[in-house]
Amino acid sequence: MLSVCRTKIYFRYFPTLSPRECHSTSTIFIRKNKPLKDPLSAFRWQGFKLEEYLIGQPIGKGCSAAVYEAAIPLSSNYQSSEDSKPLEGKSPDPQWDHGSVIQAAEAKPIQTNPQRAAFPLAIKMMWNISAGSSSEAILSTMRQELVPASGSALSGEYGAVACHRRPVFGKKRLEPHPNIIQVIRAFTSSVPLLPGAYVDYPDVLPLSLNPSGIGHSRTLFLVMKNYPCTLRQYLSERNSDAHLSTLMILQLLEGVDHLVRHGISHRDLKSDNILVELDSAGCPWLVITDFGCCLADENIGLRLPFTSWYVDRGGNGCLMAPEVVTAIPGPGVLIDYSKADAWAVGAIAYEILGLCNPFYGQGRSSLESRSYQEDQLPALPDTVPFDVKRVVKMLLQRDPNKRLSARVAANVLHLSLWGENILVPKSLNLDKMTGWLLHQSAATLLMDGLVDRSRVETKMKTCFLANLEYEDLWEAAFLLLSWRNHSV
């Protein structure tokens, strides 16, 4: 019944917009959706050994790793010298041309912190307690961390590792995306003594560094761009207006949609695992990081056989979608993760919109994803646009069949942000929709080619146009219209 009704509305509103037209638009923008140059793009053959890096202060720590600021010097003499070993708290040497490292980055985020300019990179040193000490074992055990690795990240001196890449991944490589971290180098190396090690993670150090440590002597290192802060830190320092908040939620949805298209579920989305920098217009640019808990399996895709309690359902129990947290193992039981990350985005949206995450904490007002009812979700403030409120509510539907997919939720926000004039109640028609899409395409191509590639708005529009699919676009427009027609 519903589908008949939708089909009628579809023909009324979109009599000539065809799937083929959507497809040709998306083809143009898929090509445009190229990754930005990474901070090591000028160092093609470098950065595959720990000794090549200058390592500075710790910048973060999670459950499985410590992250340090880092830089790579230009002088090859210096790199091979004894001095190039990681030094505790060493400040950057003036002989190093950090400027050119920064210059290599195509996008120029606002660099407010001079220390960050000196250390454009971040190195994540995994704590290795159970993976053994061979490179193969480490890469196999920690393979999820490598899912967002760029094509060249592993192609350094470890030829053997490069060969192992397919079996190690068991998954086709995740194509770069503006809202997903890029791991630009990955290698194994001996665990060095880095600043803060004895205070922050003495137990996971190897015996050679701490007689009571239980860590292995070798581990995995991942090199990324050094981001100014996490989403949690960003939100703790400033209140964003409705437009910026909507753009932040949209970016997470675009990132999650990209993962779903590649058959990957992050499974540990939270504000600590989202990094932020500012684009050239001061808009927060979000990237999803920390793939250590992800589901990325070529054979099973997003449907995990849940045969026993020993099967790992991912991290972050508080933000586990209802269908994941309530699953009971048994023969033939599958957990479908295709909308699990979208649910987590709905929960994080509360933080972005200035409230506490309703699924954190122990107070009476906090909810549990396993048991909450949708009418218990806290009301969002009046300052939040109506469409955003509806999207958040629909992302937090318990039933995944009623929940919005990341793609449709993103489309709703795109139309809501930029398509207002085609959504006047009861007057949406195909000509307007086609005209609007053409206008968006032309404007985005111009912005991308002539004005400024590194703007979040341009990136988001490119994502929208690159992923334009007839059914998903229609579903989003239908939802918006039905909300508007009900609210008049």
Ligand X SMILES: Nc1ncnc2c1ncn2[C@@H]1O[C@H](COP(=O)(O)OP(=O)(O)O)[C@@H](O)[C@H]1O
Q: Indicate the residue among 62 and 329 with the shorter CB distance to ligand X.
A: 62
Instruction: Pick one of 290, 323, 341, 475: the residue that binds Mg ion (CB under 5 A).
Output: 290
Can you say how many angstroms the Cα of residue 178 is from the centroid of all Cα atoms in its chain? 8
Helices and strands (H and E) in the chain: how many: 18, 10
Cα separation, 61 vs 65, whole angstroms:
6
Q: Which does 60 bind (CB under 5 to 8 A by kind): ligand X, Mg ion, none?
A: ligand X
Q: Which does 73 bind (CB under 5 to 8 A by kind): Mg ion, ligand X, none?
A: none
DSSP result, 82-105: GGGS--TTPPPPTTS-HHHHHHT-
Instruction: Pick one of 5, 37, 63, 298: the residue that binds ligand X (CB under 6 A).
Output: 63
Instruction: Pick one of 17, 55, 65, 197: the residue that binds ligand X (CB under 6 A).
Output: 65
Closest CA to 65 of 287, 250, 293: 293
Between the CA of residue 196 and those of 56, 71, 72, 280, what are the distances in Å?
11, 18, 21, 34
Q: Is residue 251 at the binding interface for ligand X, with CB under 6 A as the rule?
A: no
- Could you give phi then psi for residue 57, rounded to 5 degrees? -85, 160
Closest CA to 433 of 421, 422, 425: 422
Q: Are 146 and 183 in contact (CB under 8 A)?
A: yes
- Could you give phi then psi for residue 25, rounded to 5 degrees? -60, -45
118: β partners: none
User: In this structure, which amino acid lies at residue 391?
Assistant: V
Q: Which does 441 bind (CB under 5 to 8 A by kind): Mg ion, ligand X, none?
A: none
Q: Indicate the residue among 125 and 304 with the shorter CB distance to ligand X.
A: 125
**Is 268 noted as a catalytic residue in this protein?**
yes
Instruction: Pick one of 124, 185, 403, 407: the residue that binds ligand X (CB under 6 A).
Output: 124
Instruction: Pick one of 273, 405, 458, 462: the residue that binds Mg ion (CB under 5 A).
Output: 273
CB of 417 to ligand X, least distance (A): 28
Range 217-236, binding ligand X (CB under 6 A) = 224-227, 230
CB of 230 to Mg ion, least distance (A): 9
Residues with Cβ < 8 Å from 274, sequence gap 6 or more?
230, 231, 232, 252, 286, 287, 288, 289, 348
Only one of the segments 31-39, 206-214, 284-292, 368-376 lies at the binding site for Mg ion (rule: CB under 5 A); that segment is 284-292
Only one of the segments 15-23, 55-63, 205-213, 399-407 lies at the binding site for ligand X (rule: CB under 6 A); that segment is 55-63
Cα separation, 334 vs 148, whole angstroms:
25
Out of 38, 268, 279, 472, which one is annotated catalytic? Answer: 268
Only one of the segments 59-67, 83-91, 258-266, 457-465 lies at the binding site for Mg ion (rule: CB under 5 A); that segment is 59-67
Range 262-321, binding ligand X (CB under 6 A) = 272-273, 275, 289-290, 292
Q: Are 458 and 418 in contact (CB under 8 A)?
A: no
Only one of the segments 164-172, 286-294, 370-378, 438-446 lies at the binding site for Mg ion (rule: CB under 5 A); that segment is 286-294
Chain residues that interact with ligand X, rule: CB under 6 A: 59-65, 67, 122, 124, 224-227, 230, 272-273, 275, 289-290, 292
Chain residues that interact with Mg ion, rule: CB under 5 A: 62, 273, 290
Catalytic residues: 268
